Structure 1
Amino acid sequence: MKIPTPQYRCPLGRFRPDVQDVDAIKQRGWRDQRILVVSPDDERLDWMERELVRQIGERLYGAGGRRHD
């Protein structure tokens, strides 16, 4: 009679992070706390909106960052 050898379960497996929906977190932040997280590279924005986001970011936090023009 063959006895199957039990498979070893790595104890680190339970520490695997859960995958979170980033857009859902951003949406909840906006609805609950009025915090807006937006990238100037977001394809959902038109050119004028992306430029406005960039200008606001530079005004508040200084020039810098990366540009993909």
Structure 2
Amino acid sequence: MRWTPRGYGGARRNGDAVKRQGWRELGLLAVAIDDERLTWPERELVRQLGEKLYGTGPSDRGEHHG
């Protein structure tokens, strides 16, 4: 039995593939504040940019994403 209409199936891309495409095609950057590939100064810069553009992050409200 089919659950999706013909032509809508296929493999789902992982999160990094979506982020990579967003950066390359649209100039959008999506960065997780706890990405282990970043150094502490880089994570701090991301946190400061996020707060400047969008306000207080989840860690400041007692929530944790991850």
Question: What's the TM-score once normalised by structure 1's chain length?
Answer: 0.68
Identity of aligned residues (%): 49
Whichever of the two has the greater Rg, that structure is 1
Listed as ranges, the gaps of 5+ residues in structure 2 are none
Question: What's the TM-score once normalised by structure 2's chain length?
Answer: 0.71
Matched residues in 2 for 1:34 and 1:48: separation? Answer: 22
Is 1:63 aligned to 2:56, yes or no? yes
Which of 18, 39, 42 is the equivalent residue of 2:35?
42
If asked which structure has higher relative contact order (CA below 8 Å, sep 6+), I would say: 1
How far off is 1:64 after superposition? 2.9
Structure 1 runs of 4+ aligned residues shifted over 2 Å read 15-20
How far off is 1:30 after superposition? 0.3
Listed as ranges, the gaps of 5+ residues in structure 1 are 1-10
